[in-house]
Structure 1
Amino acid sequence: MQQKFCISYEKELNASQYEAVVHTKGPLLVIAGAGSGKTRTLTYRVARLVEEGTPPASILLLTFTRKASQEMLNRATNLLDKRCEGVSGGTFHSFANYILRRYSRYIGFDSGFNILDRDDSEALIGIVRKEMLNTSKHSSFPRKQTLANIFGKAANKVLSISDVIQNDYIHFEDDIEMIEMIHKEYARRKILHSYLDYDDLLIRFKTLMEDNADLKDRISSAYEHIMVDEYQDTNKIQSEIVCLLTGTNKNIMVVGDDSQSIYAFRGADFKNIMEFPKLFPGTRIIALEENYRSDQPILDLTNVIIERASEKYSKILFTKRKGGAKPLLVKTSTENGQSMFIVEKINKLVQNNVPLSEIAVLFRAGYYSFDLEIELARNGIPFKKVGGFKFVESAHIKDILAHMKVIVNPKDRLSWQRILLLIDKIGPKTAYNIFGAILKENSGYSGLLTAKIQNSVSDKLEELKKLFGKIDPDAMSVYDMGKEIAEYYLPVLRQRFDDYPKREKDIEHLILIMERYNSLVEFLSDMTLEPPNAAINNTLAENSGADNCLVLSTIHSAKGLEWHTVFIIWALDGRFPSMYSINNPEELEEELRLMYVAATRAKKNLYFTYPNRFYDRSSGMVLNRPSRFLELINSNILSKHSLTTYDYEY
């Protein structure tokens, strides 16, 4: 006799979703295209299993955030009843914590071990670093935050410390031996004090099951069905945990989209989703291709973009909705032309009753939006920025600007203080005394050159004096002053920041922006139109008080979100994809997926923009082609326009 269900699953789901929901025996891989109802599918499957009589506690739902798990179980409860609240749900880390506390004696701990959060981990690493380091021999040694990043990457990617440094921190190659010693001592201290950090939770959990066959069987047999969300974002250890958890019945369902695997820098391993059928022979693969987010012209484009991936699960996204605007690729003469085009388009959208909060500008890296931020502020368009830093809030950018501010206003005590504290062995009190001496000279910023300062302090100021001796605001352009200041500042930058290669790129970009200013006062005014404490800042705080804001976001931060209109800026070959990825096939593939993720955020309108003939200082090349991911796409799918001189009426 056929079982009767409270929920009309076949009516409420499309054919592919229904197929995934009713598949309850054996391994299942669901390739969920962007906007295809992945969460809905997981939610209905939980309800279906409970309706079929599966004990809720024997269903394990693993997600990447507690919020995602709670949302799915709440939806399932609303669909069915309170039985769904009994489903075992949580993140990989929270589940590992639960198991390790229950069986702590197996790992030589008692159940009262403490978990170190990121700040705690850095604090302990800092203590070990300070005790072990001979500062006179290691003046440029990585700071505790960077060491934590190195240790975390080694754990998540199952690499040695040496491999991580060779791959990602080559400028610390000479310090590998000492870094390895600190890592070993950090591990010893954690055991000594009964600490586990976030990475330890996964590593210890995996080891627990590998080393104790009887315990592994006991844990895996407790779960009749296992479901994993966002499987493309799992790292090597998480994938191995999934294999260990899956019992003899092999009732494992993973949901993800290989085309949206963009977190390799965090340790996510693209191969996990591609090799899942090999790990679980007999895997059934179901693709969710009906899209509920975007108009068909946008989907036509995204299908073409991702079809170029060399390794993928093929899928064609479609929607039953009719109509929609064709995506547009716009070439502008300059970066500022790109910004002005976007501002004009945003104003027209707002006039047509599209809320600012339904518009997003996406980019590969935080500094790509700096010029646009200036134009938005100039035009009174409120925005919030996600991922990266707002221009004037980055420490290294503020350092450069401080040097320029004292040229305009030598009475600017805060800027002088900032400049002077960058100099080795000058503290706040000495900086204040120097500032007073400069003011007494009554000769502007050049007062530094003649100020009466005791010799022991004056010697430390030699390089700064040389810099201000070169500066002549009456004879030099804003751009030339910026170059001189940057040349002085770069050695300071390298000493103060472990990630200085990235920050150098920010400074290069700042100097490019200076090129279009004839007045230092105007430049600095534009830089301070949106100060750090303004009501609208650079984070998506829960209660920012500024709901109707344009969103500026890195693509990584935009994953999972959607907007009426999306602009993807700097779609310039050498920038997107980046110059660094072009000769690395794996990185180039990830950049292709990054473009796909960005494009699939748009519901109604999608624009790509890039400035023509951009000089890239790091490579010495002039970049003048649109992204290789877009350049050869047929005009029937992607319209292309050139605005070599900006036309406000376009």
Structure 2
Amino acid sequence: MGSAVSSAAFSTRPGLLDGLDPEQLAAASAPRGPVCVLAGAGTGKTRTITHRIAHLIQSGHVAAGQVLAVTFTARAAGEMRARLRGLGVDGAQALTFHAAARRQLRYFWPRVVGDRLWDLLEGKLRLVAQAANRAGVATEAEVLRDLASEIEWAKATLVSPDDYPAVAARTQRDTPAPAAQVAEVYRNYEKIKNSAQVLDFDDLLLHTTAVLEEHGDVATEFRDRYRCFVVDEYQDVTPLQQRLLNAWLGGRDDLTVVGDANQTIYSFGGASPRPLLEFTRRFPEATVVRLERDYRSTPQVVSLANKVIGAARGRPAGSRLQLIGQRPDGPEPRFAEYDDEPAEAVAVAGRIRQLLDAGVPASQIAVLYRVNAQSEAYEQALSELDIPYLVRGGERFFARKEVRQAISALRVATSRPSGADVVEQVRTALAGVGLTEQPPPGGAAKERWDALLSLVELAEELAATVQDADLARYVAELEQRAAAQHPPTVEGVTLASLHAAKGLEWDAVFLVGLAEGTVPIQHADGDDSAIEEERRLFYVGVTRAREHLSLTWALSRNAGGRRHRRRSRFLYGLIPEDHPAARVARAQGKTFGGATARCRVCGGGLTATLEVKLGRCARCPSNVDEELLERLKSWRSDRSRELKVPPFVVFTDATLVAIAEQRPADDGALVSISGIGATKLERFGAEVLAVVRAAGRG
């Protein structure tokens, strides 16, 4: 794919490009024109492209306001803006494709349509349901979600309702209904949407493309404004996004693309690495640079990642990047097999507790799984150990009550002149909404405090990168982040799907549920291209880890279930031959903190997770107080509604059974029950003991 350029051929402004490695420097200092950066995971692609933008601006090749950089997530766009700001660049646009298109459409719509821009449809299921009903298609929630996804795929791949049946047949689409019916739902959906004068997210791209293609005066104005384009994660562009990019360019070639075909994981949504792999066919004179030095992960993690992707079948030439670890040695990746998923979750939570005790911040630990439904077991296991966690895709940071109150307080504070620096002003303003000098002991209050502290840390980051930053500038940055849903870091273990983890990294990563049928996902079996995409998704998961990497799987879904599963095919060739695969030791009994758990009735060793929780083996009879158990469940239901959390976050069913069996009389007896730690004792201990006493009197 073209030839790499020598960095010595171009002059650079002193200091700006210092610290870049030879390949990063070659990409950053390449002249205007088409540049393709093939960047492996952890090789510093964001650093490279932001330095390239800064170099082009400071060298006078382009003005900051003439640069448009696009990526695929609001978080990545926010990080790019922050990096550019740190390099002294203000005015360059760094946005997602959809955000850029919406901004352009809002500007040009009155001229082209002659009216205000139509409202944006936040969710399409209601309209899809109406469209399906008109077409005589089932309207169950699962069917509607599948129909909505199919419409999104069709629009992303530029397939019209009329063409859909033929394209679905040619590509062998697994359609949620007969293709002709899906086409009719699609057609009805477009009619209903247009009649209501609303746009969906794909329309932002479609209409912007149409405006630039069909209105020469608009296209001329746009192209006079934007001269230089940068596309991050180019392996994930859809045909619709590529067509919009072509409309932006208008035949010009001042384009830098960055991508890694080994990380193509959105083919189901219409994404394709083909534009990346065929870049030099379109631009024969393009400069091509390969980034393979991995600065993120230890050599041990890098070695495993290379093995994972090296086993892929049919890799095109442009994807054959071999990562080279640059960090000092670290621990070998851990592999472990468990009897069932609850046992796997308990073990992972226990290992996370060890890492926390060793000083690894909770925000630098992640548990990654294939499907979101897997998170529940880990939420329970972490809750039992009082470990804070955040579920990506859960409640949005800027929607939280304390964050909304904080932003309001900060806006008010901007109207009061102060001689203090921006960090001190932020601390003072947030003191009024709950930010104390010392954190509260735990629970919900600690979570609120952590959220407020993250806003202070954001102010510290701004003060360190922007000279003379004031409170007004900080509030503007905060509002921009809120609009882009780009939250600051909050302490807590991250629970996320492998897809949601793309573009992120942590010191410690736990890849869980690595069993056949889950990784690769069951519906991918029999389709070689789908299996290879699952392998790339696994590779993305591995490359999220900086130092600690754990890979686990379970032989049964439920506790005590038949152990019929087998580990993922992607693990073969990765586990050392002499590795025992960390099978759960049955004969010796399960140990916690170095001590063997024993049955409180017969004294025998306990092996199963539920046995350890109850404090007795399955052979010994239960002495559960059914009346007390019902009272505990009623109390838990009231508390969960009050706290607005699922019941298991208060206490799991197994914990309630253990309490009803053991009837603890004091704090010491209560905390001896597995899963009740200091935090839960403080939050709920007195109430639980009161319920136990009341049941005894009754």
- The residue aligned with 1:335 is 341
- Tell me whether 362-371 or 273-282 shows the greater mean CA deviation: 273-282
For 1:607, what is the secondary structure of its paired residue? strand
Q: Find 1:117's aligned residue among 112, 121, 132.
A: 121
Match of 1:97 in 2: 102
Identify the residue that residue 464 of structure 1 maps to in structure 2. Answer: none
Other-structure match for 2:576: 635
CA distance in 2, matches of 1:118, 1:201: 12
In 1, Cα distance between equivalents of 2:578 and 2:42: 20
Please give the alpha-carbon distance, in whole angstroms, between the structure 2 residues aligned to 1:31 and 1:626: 32
Please report how far the alpha carbon of residue 534 of structure 1 lies from its aligned counterpart in structure 2 after TM superposition. Answer: 11
The separation in 1 between residues aligned to 2:553 and 2:148, in whole angstroms, is 37
1:594 shift after superposition: 0.9
2:352 equivalent to 1:346: yes
Secondary structure in 2 aligned to 1:35? coil
Give the direction of change, closer, same or farther, for the CA distance of 1:72–1:611 in structure 2 (3 Å limit): closer
Tell me which amino acid in the other structure corresponds to 1:595.
F
User: How far did 1:535 drift?
Assistant: 8.4
TM-score by length of 2: 0.62
Aligned to 2:235: 232
CA contact (8 A) 2:34 2:253 kept: yes
Cα distance in 2 between the residues matched to 1:364 and 1:260: 15
Distance in 2 (alpha carbons) for counterparts of 1:139 and 1:206: 32
- Report how far residue 584 of structure 1 moved: 1.0
Report SS of the residue matched to 1:557. coil
Q: 1:128 to 1:567 in 2, by over 3 A?
A: closer
1:384 and 2:387 correspond: no
Residue pair 1:9, 1:18 contacting (<8 A) in 2 also:
no
Pair 1:155-2:155 in alignment = yes
1:323 deviates by: 1.7
Which residue identity does 1:610 align to in structure 2?
W
- Which of 16, 38, 46 is the equivalent residue of 1:39? 46
Is residue 323 of structure 1 aligned with residue 266 of structure 2?
no
Q: Which amino acid aligns with 2:289?
A: I
Q: How does 1:231-630 map to 2 (within 5 A)?
A: 231-309=234-312, 310-312=314-316, 313-387=319-393, 547-612=490-555, 623-630=564-571
CA distance in 2, matches of 1:536, 1:281: 54
Closer, same or farther in 2 for the Cα pair 1:112/1:334, shift >3 Å?
Answer: closer
CA contact (8 A) 1:142 1:172 kept: no
* Pairwise CA distance, 1:23: 1.0
Q: Aligned-residue CA RMSD in angstroms?
A: 4.0
Q: Which moved more, 1:60-69 or 1:572-581?
A: 60-69
The aligned residue for residue 52 of structure 1 is 59
CA contact (8 A) 1:341 1:648 kept: no
1:21 aligns with 2:31: no
8 Å contact from structure 1 (residues 66, 90) kept in 2: yes
Q: Can you list the C-alpha shifts for 1:486-534, whole angstroms capped at 9, x where unaligned?
A: xxxxxxxxxxxxxxxxxxxxxxxxxxxxxxxxxxxxxxxxxxxxxx999
* Counterpart contact for 2:234–2:273, Cα < 8 Å: no
Residue in 2 that maps onto 1:201:
204
Q: Aligned residue for 1:72?
A: 80
Counterpart code for 1:115? D
User: In the superposition, relative to structure 1, how do residues 146 and 301 fare at CA in structure 2: closer, same or farther (>3 Å)?
Assistant: closer
Give the Cα separation in 2 of the matches to 1:637 and 1:317: 26
Change (3 A) 1:639 1:217: farther
Change (3 A) 1:243 1:545: closer
Task: Tell me the matched-pair count.
Answer: 491
Contact 2:369/2:497 (<8 A) preserved: yes
Alpha-carbon displacement from aligned partner over 1:213-248 (angstroms, at most 9, x marks no partner): 676466445433211112122211111222333355
Report deviation, 1:296: 0.7
Letter in structure 2 aligned against 1:558: A
SS state at 2:203 partner: helix
User: Which ranges in structure 2 are unaligned for 5 or more consecutive residues?
Assistant: 1-8, 396-442, 456-486, 595-698
TM-score by length of 1: 0.66
SS in 2 for 1:167: coil
Find the counterpart in structure 1 of residue 426 from structure 2: none
- In the alignment, the residues of structure 1 paired with residue 524 and residue 309 of structure 2 have an alpha-carbon distance, to the nearest angstrom, of 17
Would the alpha carbon gap of residues 304 and 624 (structure 1) be closer, same or farther in structure 2, given more than 3 Å must change?
same
Amino acid at match of 1:31: L
Contact 1:226 1:252 (C-alpha < 8 Å) held by counterparts: yes
Give the corresponding residue for 2:416: none
1:332 maps to a residue whose letter is Y
Shift of 1:201: 1.8
Say whether the 8 Å CA contact 1:236–1:272 is kept in structure 2.
no
Which region of structure 1 is more displaced relative to structure 2, 206-215 or 543-552?
543-552
Determine the structure 1 residue equivalent to 2:664. Answer: none
Mapped partners of 2:10, 2:553: distance in 1: 58
Q: Describe the shift of the 1:378–1:95 C-alpha distance in structure 2 as closer, same or farther (beyond 3 A).
A: closer
The amino acid across from 2:117 in the alignment is F
**8 Å contact 2:370–2:498 — kept in the other structure?**
yes
* Aligned partner letter, 2:95: G
For residues 240-275 of structure 1, the C-alpha deviation after alignment (integer angstroms, 9 at most, x for no partner) is 222333355512101122222222334332333233
**Partner residue of 1:523?**
none
Matched with 2:628 is none
For residue 90 of structure 1, report the CA deviation from its aligned partner: 2.6
* Contact 1:535 1:546 (C-alpha < 8 Å) held by counterparts: no
CA distance in 2, matches of 1:217, 1:569: 52
Partner Cα distance (1:159, 1:610) in 2: 40
* AA in 2 matched with 1:582: D
Structure 2 distance, partners of 1:88, 1:613, is 50
Maintained 8 Å contact 1:326/1:637: no
Query: Contact 1:365/1:388 (CA < 8 Å) preserved in 2?
Result: no
Letter paired with 2:574:
I
CA spacing shift, 1:377–1:60, aligned 2, 3 Å? closer
What is the deviation of 1:114? 1.9
Q: Which digits, 9 at most, give the CA deviation of each residue in 1:559-618, with x for residues without a partner?
A: 222222211111122321122212112211111111111111111111111123679xxx
Deviations 1:258-309 (A, max 9, x none): 2222223343323332333333333332122222221110001101111223
Q: Distance in 1 between matches of 2:493 and 2:539?
A: 21
Per-residue deviation, 1:56: 2.2
Kept in 2: contact 1:101–1:111 (CA 8 A): no
CA distance in 1, matches of 2:118, 2:525: 44
Counterpart amino acid of residue 315 in structure 1: L
Q: Distance in 2 between matches of 1:139 and 1:597?
A: 35
SS at match of 2:570: coil
The percent of aligned pairs where both chains have the same amino acid is 28
Contact 1:106–1:208, Cα closer than 8 Å, also in 2: no
Unaligned runs of 5+ in 1: 390-531
Residues 1:3 and 1:598: Cα distance change in structure 2 (over 3 Å): closer
Asked if the contact 1:306/1:593 (under 8 Å) is kept, the reply is: yes
Are the equivalent residues in 2 in contact too, given 1:326–1:638 (CA < 8 A)?
A: no
Note closer, same or farther for the CA distance 1:112–1:635 as it changes in structure 2 (3 Å cut): same
1:63 maps to 2:71: yes
